[in-house]
Chains A and B, each alone.
Chain A
Amino acid sequence: MTARRPEGLTASLLIGPATLIVMLSLVLPLAVLARYSLNQYDRKTFMVEAFSPENYLRFFTDPFYTGVLWTTFSIAITTTVLCLILGFPIAYKLARSQSRWKSIGVLLIILPLFIGSTVRALGWMGVLGRGGIVDAAYGALGGEGISLLYTSFAVGLGILSINLPYMILTLQSVIEGIDARLEEAADSLGADAPRRFWHVVLPLALPGIATGGILVFILAMNAYATPFLLGGARFQMMAPMLYREFAVNNNWPFAAAIAFILMLTTLSLTAISGLVIQRRYKAA
């Protein structure tokens, strides 16, 4: 006991400053935001001190706002599943590769992360918009003008392209940790490729899938620049709506409530998926 006490003290001293910084820079502003979300908005005085749940009620009782939340959720879940389906083979190939080109492959995955999401969204605008690459190619094939911009397809594609590298990199590091000899053992015991994947690789890669999935899901739920630029005025997602309420309408109380709803939805969905996967992992 006596030997352990200084250790505990050292540990507290080590995590103390970090905890303090987190408390001051994250928890305190969140507490202020929570307080704001209970205030009322007034055009002339900007924010009236109150203690009312009306901003939350306004959100949940109005199909317009719940619809936006649902759109955000469906885009996030679709892009996460697509990231997983498209990312897994690439990550597996990279992880198992012995080639000298492997590092170049990894670099190619990382490279898009060097460009901000706004710039990439602008790039997509050039591809999908009227007079863009797709439109020109379609026109050359004899079709009439086509614009894919300002559709849910454009937003999904934009978010997918931004999030895919995160999924691949997470999966790759996890798959690299799975002993290749386990797959060889499955092979030698007569398992064909799909069986080997379902019964050996997939269960062992589940923690990576969970981490990558959660990361990508959170990013998609909170996407701002991509839905704003590729979705246009007619496509609503939570983050651009939050920004508009906060910075355009100056309605801080309602914006704070939207922020909390978005944060709590993301957190609870993440926690639920984490629990489910953990249980499956244990079962596997």
Chain B
Amino acid sequence: MTDLITPNRRQLLTLAAGAAATPFAPAILRAQEASGRCVVSTWGGDYAKLLTQNIEEPLLKPKGLEIVQDAGTEPTRVAKSIAQRRLPRGSVDVICLQAPTAHDLEESGLLEPLDESKVPNLKYVQKTFANPYSIPHIYSPQVIAYSPERVKTPPKNFTEMEAYGEKVGILDTSYIWVAMAAALKGQGDPSKFAEAKANLEKLVKAGAKVYTSTEAFAPGIKSGEIDVGLVWHARVLFWKKGGVEMASSFPEEGCMTYVSSMCVLKNAPNKAAAFAYLNAALDPRAQRGFAESMSYHPTITNAALEGEIAKSLALPEPAPKLIPAPYPELSAARDELNDWWRRLLERR
């Protein structure tokens, strides 16, 4: 009995250390909590594979986190999250979304607010892409892709690209980004969708090719079906790697910028693990990994690139203005725009 209540030197030291650490308890607790299973809702394919290679295996597994990927198309995963919104504990911790969709979920009240106390690496995020509900994982500017073989003077802006008429390629899934690029050039504001409709109508009437899959763009350029089109710079670099003669021209009015985001759902079963995941995604090693394998730009300021990848991802001088989509305006106009676009295509 006396042994139990008489503290020895070691016990006293432990107690003192414990008392000294009390003010830091939340941080220690959080670090300890980031364990167990983390379910990541993501696109399948290369993106999912690279999450495993660059974030999960090297950065989270050593910390004892078990990562489960729930792969699927974005609308399906969004539908699932909305369907589970009333459950106190959902089945997903982290959800990977395009930035406009992340904004939609935030408006629906589904996302957990983020700050540096939860995701310390947020302090390195480039200000253009920062927001309080998601982390920008990777980005890529929208460029005018062209065939250097047939296009001797690369188009410098949307108007010059538009002049290619039937030789312009449009990705069906990204038509809205073409509309924003047109609005940016014509109105100086990418949210002036109504004014940009005329540009797209002109292009479609001129016989511009509309591709239902992103992959169909490269064969279009290769076969000479199209000469130019607006796509992500990362895609151009990817196709070039695959042997397609293609080059990027950065529009002088600025580049609409694709951002892939990661968010934590309010009813995530393991929030500590989810924050740890987001923090790891903003780790310079993970960001460089994505740049090297997928040619997407890092979204943080402390992931300087080197060598060949730095050269291929380098933006021209003077650096083009990178413009994320006007998310609230896009969200409000999207349904009407989708309907208008379908009808425009049908009218031929």
Enumerate chain A interface residues (CB-CB to B < 8 A). Answer: 43-46, 64, 67-68, 129-131, 145, 147, 150, 228-229, 232-234, 236, 247-250, 252
Min CB distance, B42 to chain A, in Å? Answer: 17
With a CB–CB cut-off of 8 A, which chain A residues contact B73? 247
Which one of B62-70, B305-313, B335-343 contacts A? B335-343
Set of chain A residues within 8 Å of B342, measured between Cβ atoms:
64, 236
Asked if B292 is at the interface of the complex by the 8 Å CB criterion, the answer is: no
Assuming A46-B83, A64-B346, is B223 touching A250 (CB within 8 A)? no
Cα A45 to Cα B86 in complex, Å, equals 11
Cα(A43)–Cα(B334), bound, Å: 10
Map CB proximity to A onto B194-219 as digits: 1 under 8 Å, 0 otherwise.
00000000000000011110000001
Could you give, for residues 105-134 of chain B, a 1 whenever the CB lies within 8 Å of some chain A CB and a 0 otherwise? Answer: 001100000000000000000000000000
Chain A CB within 8 A of B253 CB: no
Return the chain A residue nearest B175 by Cβ. Answer: A233
The 7 listed contacts between A and B (C-beta, < 8 Å) are A68-B346, A129-B219, A129-B223, A130-B224, A145-B224, A234-B345, A247-B76
Q: Is B57 an interface residue (CB 8 A)?
A: no
- In angstroms, Cα B348 to Cα A64, docked, is 13
Nearest chain B residue, comparing its CB with the CB of A228: B212
A147 touches B225 (CB 8 A): yes
**A131 partner residues in chain B, CB cutoff 8 A:** 219, 222-225
- Asked if B172 is an interface residue, CB under 8 A from chain A, the answer is yes
Centre residue among A46, A233, A247 by max chain B CB count within 10 A = A233
Q: Is B104 an interface residue (CB 8 A)?
A: yes
B residues near A (Cβ < 8 Å) are: 73, 75-76, 78-79, 82-83, 104, 107-108, 172, 209-212, 219-220, 222-225, 331, 334-335, 338, 342-343, 345-346, 348
Please report the number of residue pairs spanning A and B whose Cβ atoms sit closer than 8 angstroms.
60
B182, chain A: closest CB distance, angstroms: 18
Q: Which residues of B contact A67 (CB under 8 A)?
A: 346
Instruction: For B211, give its contact among A44, A232, A248, A249 (CB under 8 Å).
Output: A232
Instruction: Tell me the nearest residue of chain A to B220, going by C-beta.
Output: A130
Which 8 A-B pairs give the minimum distances between C-beta atoms?
A: A131-B223, A233-B210, A130-B225, A233-B172, A130-B223, A46-B82, A44-B108, A234-B345
Cβ distance B44 to chain A, nearest Cβ, rounded Å? 14
Residues on A with beta carbons closer than 8 Å to the beta carbon of B212: 228-229, 232-233
Looking across the interface, which residue of chain B has its beta carbon closest to that of A232? B212
Q: Tell me the complex Cα distance, A228–B213, Å.
A: 10
Name the contact of A45 in the complex, choosing from B108, B220, B335 (C-beta under 8 A). B108
Cα–Cα distance between A46 and B211 once the two chains are bound (Å): 28
